[in-house]
């Protein structure tokens, strides 16, 4: 009797839940819900389309979740599947993770101290800290959109740093530990843990950690790409979690799209190279992983991805251009990495790669020459796939935050050579980790110094503008910048051996940079002086955009740091880099 009551109770809850979710699929119902929320809040949201689409997404997600939960709880095959999941989890010695997690969290926390101390606002942070918007929905990052509500305990974002960054390094800590556990056949050593530092502290991940609002969701994309490999022993469970985890990755930060493929190829190669599995078993594993990856990408593309095209595009290359376009993107990827890294980093990375090939040949149970060839081919594939799905996009992003897949590649190779191989290989892996660990402090201090300089220059400029145009009600003005303030001597010194610093540290005051304009105007409370619809020189303006550099304005103020030209309503500020 008791079991029947529970069973029918579950049926009732599922039916009610499905009915509620299905009703939200109708636009009229969503409109009623939004109007109800507005009445409760006693204000107009002003963003009906965004709220309506969000409710639609939540309704579809709710239907899927209830259907899956019903399958797991009410069907025989579903109960068997849940038992397999449970068995997979109980086979893991979770206590063995305690010390590794504490160690890596301490390492990552120590390394990020200078970034936290800098308290630097990176691009979107500038707008979110002032306006409180989320905006991840437009980029199909629904998981980021939802979790941001939990992290900030509100629908409106506020600056709660360093909590998001601490949460991010905790997720990266788990990622590093799990990566070592998976790659080293469930064995965790201190050397392998320290060798995994490039996963969290590659120069490209450092930019991600600098974002006060995005950092935890970017870190979540890395973790989601690794979690499925905990279930390798059971094929169905592995494929299911692969699809779900890859969808989570796509809905947090798509730059991690290559990480799953990197781990797959390395595991497949290790099984083949050591003859731990037959060729058929290795190919079957690779096929399952490839099928899971393609399934997740197709689902995301067809049902979840929103078309987006601004300074980048998420549209795939047309089929006739797929080969030439991919080669062009890869060439840009290689050139970007080459120009970012200095000689010392390149040399150590080259040594690490050579040790990976050497270990593959030395420990191989296959023919040594074939193993050598396969190791070289594998490294080439890993390098190509570290850029992930961005390779086949029409206009991919090459900003540092989009390249952290290369840091994960370095972490994977370093972990591999630091386990069950000679001491020199371990030293080279640890040397690379040490280089990146030390660089975190240089980077954080560079952010702090650039922020000091930017605030100084913004203060000088706004002081001059406030003297020239003291009455905000009578003088509605429009400002454009020309040139840039450049970098501080501290940044330039770092760039002598680590050129990537120029791409990591924003100048914050330069021409044609909307976020720079927003920073030095709005964050210093000068926005009321500016014509509202073109504060950021945006093409969204109701007025036609005019390039002030083409106009011959008279000079109204000239100093060492800038020259101000104006006709009384329009202002062109020519910035001077005094160190040139």
Render pLDDT for 466-479 as a digit per residue (tens, 0 to 9). 888 887 655 577 88
Q: Which residues contact 473 (CB under 8 A, 6 or more apart)?
A: none
| Confidence bin at 535 (pLDDT 50/70/90) | very low
For residue 530, the cross-strand partners are 477
| Confidence bin at 328 (pLDDT 50/70/90) | very high
Residue 1 pLDDT = 63
Provide φ and ψ at 503, rounded to 5°.
Answer: -90, -15
Residue 45 pLDDT = 53
On whether the CB atoms of residues 570 and 475 are closer than 8 A, the answer is no
On whether the CB atoms of residues 551 and 570 are closer than 8 A, the answer is yes
Q: What is the mean pLDDT of residues 510-516?
A: 80
Residue 24 pLDDT = 66
The packing angle between helices 48-74 and 27-41, to 10°, is 110
Q: Write out the two tokens for 389.
A: 């799905």
| Confidence bin at 170 (pLDDT 50/70/90) | very high
For residue 557, the cross-strand partners are 564
Q: 133-147, 176-190, 312-326 — which one is most confidently predicted on average?
A: 176-190
Residue 32 pLDDT = 74
Listed range (85-89, 237-241, 356-360, 386-390) with the worst mean pLDDT: 85-89
Listed range (72-81, 102-111, 437-446) with the worst mean pLDDT: 72-81
| Confidence bin at 99 (pLDDT 50/70/90) | very high
CA distances from 273 to 54, 352, 365, 372, 431 (A): 48, 19, 6, 10, 27
CA distances from 517 to 116, 454, 567 (A): 24, 12, 20
Beta pairing class for 570-575 and 562-566: antiparallel
41 or 252, which is more confident? 252
Report the chain's mean pLDDT, rounded to a whole number: 88
Distance, in Å, from the CA atom of 234 to the CA atom of 238, rounded to the nearest integer, reads: 6
Q: 304-313, 425-434, 460-469 — which one is most confidently predicted on average?
A: 425-434
| Confidence bin at 264 (pLDDT 50/70/90) | very high
Cα 224 versus chain centre, distance: 12
The packing angle between helices 215-226 and 404-417, to 10°, is 50
Listing DSSP states for 383-447 in one string gives HHHTTGGGGGBSS---SGGG-HHHHHHHHHHHHHHTSSS-HHHHHHHHHHHHHHHHHHHHHHHHH
The predicted model scores a pTM of: 0.91
Helices (H) and strands (E) in the chain, counts: 23, 4
Residue 54 pLDDT = 66
| Confidence bin at 64 (pLDDT 50/70/90) | confident
Q: What is the mean pLDDT of residues 117-133?
A: 89
Q: What is the mean pLDDT of residues 104-121?
A: 96
Q: What is the mean pLDDT of residues 118-122?
A: 93
Residue 41 pLDDT = 59
Which residue is it, tokens 């998981």?
A: 143
Render pLDDT for 285-309 as a digit per residue (tens, 0 to 9). 999 999 999 999 999 988 888 887 7
Residue 536 pLDDT = 42
Residue 135 pLDDT = 82
CA distances from 12 to 18, 82, 193, 242, 287 (A): 10, 22, 49, 31, 40
Render pLDDT for 197-236 as a digit per residue (tens, 0 to 9). 999 999 999 999 999 999 999 999 999 999 999 999 899 9
How many Cβ atoms from other residues are within 10 Å of residue 580's Cβ?
Answer: 5
Q: 130-134, 238-242, 467-471 — which one is most confidently predicted on average?
A: 238-242
Q: Which residues contact 565 (CB under 8 A, 6 or more apart)?
A: 548, 553, 554, 555, 556, 571, 572, 573, 574
Q: What is the mean pLDDT of residues 331-350?
A: 96
């Amino acid at each position: 009797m008791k079991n029947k009551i529970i069973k029918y109770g579950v049926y009732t809850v599922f039916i009610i839940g499905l009915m509620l979710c299905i009703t939200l699929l109708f636009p009229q119902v969503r409109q009623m819900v939004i109007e109800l929320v507005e009445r409760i809040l006693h204000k107009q949201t002003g963003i009906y389309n965004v709220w309506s689409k969000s409710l639609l997404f939540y309704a579809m997600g709710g239907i899927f979740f209830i259907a899956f939960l019903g399958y797991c709880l009410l069907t025989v095959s579903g109960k068997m599947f849940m038992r397999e999941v449970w068995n997979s989890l109980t086979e893991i010695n979770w206590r063995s993770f305690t010390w590794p997690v504490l160690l890596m969290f301490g390492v990552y926390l120590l390394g990020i101290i200078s970034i936290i101390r800098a308290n630097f606002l990176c691009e979107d942070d500038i707008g979110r800290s002032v306006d409180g918007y989320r905006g991840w929905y437009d980029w199909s990052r629904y998981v980021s959109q939802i979790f941001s509500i939990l992290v900030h305990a509100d629908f409106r974002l506020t600056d709660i740093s360093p909590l998001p960054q601490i949460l991010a390094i905790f997720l990266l800590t788990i990622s590093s530990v799990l990566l070592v556990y998976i790659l080293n056949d469930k064995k965790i050593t201190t050397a392998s843990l320290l060798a995994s530092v490039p996963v969290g502290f590659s120069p490209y991940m450092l930019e991600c950690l600098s974002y006060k609002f995005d950092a935890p969701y970017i870190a979540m994309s890395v973790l989601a790409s690794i979690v499925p490999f905990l279930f390798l022993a059971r094929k169905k469970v592995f494929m299911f979690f692969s699809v779900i985890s890859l969808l989570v990755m796509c809905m947090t930060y798509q730059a991690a799209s290559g990480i799953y493929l990197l781990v797959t190829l390395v595991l497949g190669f290790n099984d083949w190279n050591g003859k731990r599995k037959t060729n058929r078993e290795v190919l079957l594993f690779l096929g399952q992983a490839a099928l899971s990856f393609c399934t997740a990408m197709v689902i995301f593309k067809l049902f979840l991805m929103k078309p987006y095209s601004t300074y980048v595009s998420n549209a795939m290359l047309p089929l006739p251009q797929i080969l030439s376009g991919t080669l062009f993107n890869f060439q840009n990827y290689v050139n970007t990495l080459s120009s970012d890294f200095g000689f010392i980093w390149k040399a150590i990375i080259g040594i690490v790669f050579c040790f990976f090939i050497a270990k593959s040949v030395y420990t191989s149970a296959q023919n040594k020459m074939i193993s050598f060839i396969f190791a070289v081919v594998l490294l080439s594939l890993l390098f190509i796939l570290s850029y992930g799905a961005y390779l086949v996009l029409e206009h991919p992003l090459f900003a540092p935050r989009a390249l952290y897949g290369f840091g994960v590649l370095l972490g994977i190779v370093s972990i591999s050579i630091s386990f069950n191989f000679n001491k020199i290989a371990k030293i080279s892996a640890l040397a690379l980790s040490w280089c990146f660990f030390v660089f975190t402090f240089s980077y954080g201090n560079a952010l702090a110094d650039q922020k000091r300089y930017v605030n100084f220059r913004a203060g000088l400029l706004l002081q001059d503008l406030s003297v020239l145009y003291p009455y905000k009600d009578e003088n509605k003005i429009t400002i454009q910048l020309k040139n840039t303030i450049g970098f501080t001597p501290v940044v330039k010194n770092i760039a002598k051996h680590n050129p990537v610093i120029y791409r990591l540290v924003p100048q914050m005051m330069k021409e044609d940079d909307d976020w720079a304009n927003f920073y030095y105007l709005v964050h210093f409370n000068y926005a009321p002086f500016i014509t509202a619809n073109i504060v950021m020189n945006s093409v969204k303006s109701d007025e036609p955009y005019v390039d002030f550099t083409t106009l011959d304005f008279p000079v109204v103020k000239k100093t060492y740091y800038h020259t101000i030209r104006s006709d009384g309503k329009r202002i062109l500020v020519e910035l001077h880099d005094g160190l040139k």
